[in-house]
């Protein structure tokens, strides 16, 4: 992919917050599965089924170790972050009523906003949106004030998909737990940039998507503490999740099977396992410092261009930078950059409450990954300058 040419030029792929590219290890693992062991899992006794089951469960264990979950029972394969959050929002419904409140923040992706708003509409609970500061950071004091005895759950992203701001989730979780509030962390943007240790964070739920962490699309993870997963009822029903039906009454398997009804995305899970194994084998500290350096370089170079405003100036940040220009529309900038073979994102990034907070309709978003280089950023900056010369007419 990174050698692909578009319009005759080598691609400069800076849309990693939308999806990351996959290493050969992932493609080869999935190809091997389809060529040699493709079969359904868990219920077959034949060789291929046992092999696929073994590979699928091995992937779960890789994810478990990667996140430092206590047990593989806490790792549920889903179709992605959106699916993971919706599962929790449905499973927790019997514990929520009109006396409760659910808190999200102004910087959430719609995936961590709409499922909670819908839950509140169904149950009569109050939907509360905690504010972000002018720097695009969480207003911790205000959030602390909003968390009360009535709060049934707090849903918060680990990092913003608009500004890259990293939330102090450990501190937030500590504070929430002192008030008896469970916390769901949307880690969609974090797993490929930061260390994630669910035991250290002590979060109740953690969600992410395979395709934003060097894996394939259509696979994701829901981590949940066993105390929650044991008491939750399933939210999807079908084969594979029921131990027996006696006199018409079902008895469900324990988690994760209880939450994985039907044939899962076997190749996707195995591919995600390969992605995480590959990523975990890389020198993490050098990746983090490489990405930080590139991010700071993007910020400082953009700030030198007249008319550009950076959206958000978080103290701690992953490799995502959003900007606007006084004349040029984000869509026009992104479309013209595309003609130079530069892939960036424009729009509201499924975060309209955040856009409203800043009184803007959208941004241009540059998002990097470990494979991006300083030369690519120079090419981007030159591209933006060329475009603005035309748009600005000077």
Q: What positions carry a catalytic annotation?
A: 350
User: Does residue 157 belong to the site contacting ligand PLP (CB under 6 A)?
Assistant: yes
**Binding residue count for ligand PLP, defined by CB under 6 A:** 12
Name the segment binding ligand PLP (CB under 6 A); options: 6-14, 105-113, 115-123, 318-326.
105-113
Burial of 150 (0-12, 13-18, 19+ CB in 10 A): middle
Which residues, 6 or more positions from 56, have their beta carbon under 8 angstroms from its beta carbon?
Answer: 41, 264, 266, 269, 270
**Closest approach of ligand PLP to the CB of residue 242, in Å:** 27
Report yes or no: 259 and 271 within 8 Å, Cβ to Cβ. no
Q: Is the dihedral of CA 155, 159, 165, 169 positive or negative?
A: positive
Residue 108 · residue 136 · CB < 8 Å: no
Please identify, using beta-carbon distances, which residue of 123 and 189 lies nearer to ligand PLP. 189
In the complex, least distance from residue 84 CB atom to ligand PLP, rounded to whole angstroms: 8
32 by Cβ neighbours in 10 Å (0-12 / 13-18 / 19+) ranks as middle
Residues 88, 203: contact at Cβ < 8 Å? no
Q: If binding is defined by CB under 6 A, does position 82 make contact with ligand PLP?
A: yes
Output the CA torsion sign for 27, 33, 39, 41: negative
Per CB under 6 A, the segment of 92-100, 108-116, 119-127, 359-367 that binds ligand PLP is 108-116
Choose the binding region for ligand PLP from 77-85, 176-184, 250-258, 365-373 (rule: CB under 6 A): 77-85
- As measured in angstroms, the least distance from the Cβ of 39 to ligand PLP is 27
- From residue 164 to residue 203, what is the string marking binding to ligand PLP with x (rule CB under 6 A)? ----------------------x-xx--------------
Short-list 215, 96, 197, CA closest to 154: 96
163 belongs to the binding site for ligand PLP (CB under 6 A) = no
53 near ligand PLP, rule: CB under 6 A: no
Nearer to ligand PLP, 157 or 321 (CB): 157
Residue 109 binds ligand PLP (CB under 6 A): yes
* Listed residue (61, 78, 153) closest to 112, CA to CA: 153
Determine, following the binding rule CB under 6 A, whether residue 81 of this chain makes contact with ligand PLP: yes
Question: According to the binding rule CB under 6 A, does residue 209 interact with ligand PLP?
Answer: yes
Residues that bind ligand PLP (CB under 6 A): 80-82, 109, 111-112, 157, 161, 186, 188-189, 209
């Amino acid at each position: 992919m990174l050698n692909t040419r578009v319009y005759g030029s080598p691609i400069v792929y800076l849309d990693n917050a939308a999806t990351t590219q996959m290493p050969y290890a992932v493609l080869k693992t999935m190809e091997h599965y389809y060529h040699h062991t493709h079969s359904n899992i868990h219920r077959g006794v034949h060789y291929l089924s046992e092999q696929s089951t073994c590979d699928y469960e091995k992937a779960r264990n890789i994810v478990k170790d990667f996140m430092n979950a206590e047990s593989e029972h806490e790792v549920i394969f889903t179709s992605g972050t959106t699916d993971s959050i919706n599962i929790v929002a449905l499973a927790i419904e019997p514990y929520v009523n009109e006396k409760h409140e659910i808190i999200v923040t102004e910087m959430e992706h719609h995936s961590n906003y709409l499922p909670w708003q819908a839950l509140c509409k169904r149950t009569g609970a109050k939907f509360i949106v905690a504010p972000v500061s002018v720097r695009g950071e969480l207003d911790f004091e205000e959030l602390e004030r909003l968390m009360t005895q009535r709060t049934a759950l707090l849903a918060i992203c680990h990092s913003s998909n608009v500004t890259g701001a990293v939330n102090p989730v450990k501190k937030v979780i500590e504070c929430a737990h002192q008030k008896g509030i469970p916390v769901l962390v949307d880690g969609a943007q974090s797993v490929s940039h930061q260390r994630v240790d669910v035991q250290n964070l002590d979060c109740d739920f953690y969600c992410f998507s395979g395709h934003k962490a060097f894996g394939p699309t259509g696979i994701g993870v829901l981590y949940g503490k066993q105390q929650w997963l044991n008491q939750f009822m399933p939210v999807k029903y079908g084969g594979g999740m029921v131990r027996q039906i006696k006199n018409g009454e079902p008895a469900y398997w324990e988690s994760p099977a209880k939450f994985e009804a039907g044939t899962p995305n076997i190749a996707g899970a195995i591919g995600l396992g390969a992605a995480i194994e590959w990523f975990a084998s890389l020198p993490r500290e050098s990746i983090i410092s490489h990405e930080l350096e590139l991010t700071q370089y993007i910020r400082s170079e953009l700030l030198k261009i007249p008319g550009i405003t950076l959206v958000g100036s978080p103290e701690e940040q992953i490799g995502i930078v959003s900007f606007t220009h006084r004349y040029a529309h984000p869509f026009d900038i992104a479309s013209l950059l595309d003609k130079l073979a530069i892939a960036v994102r424009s729009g509201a990034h499924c975060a309209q409450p955040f856009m409203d907070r800043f009184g803007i309709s959208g941004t241009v978003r540059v998002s990097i990954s470990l494979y991006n280089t300083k030369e690519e950023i120079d090419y981007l900056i030159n591209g933006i300058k060329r475009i603005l010369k035309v748009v600005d007419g000077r």
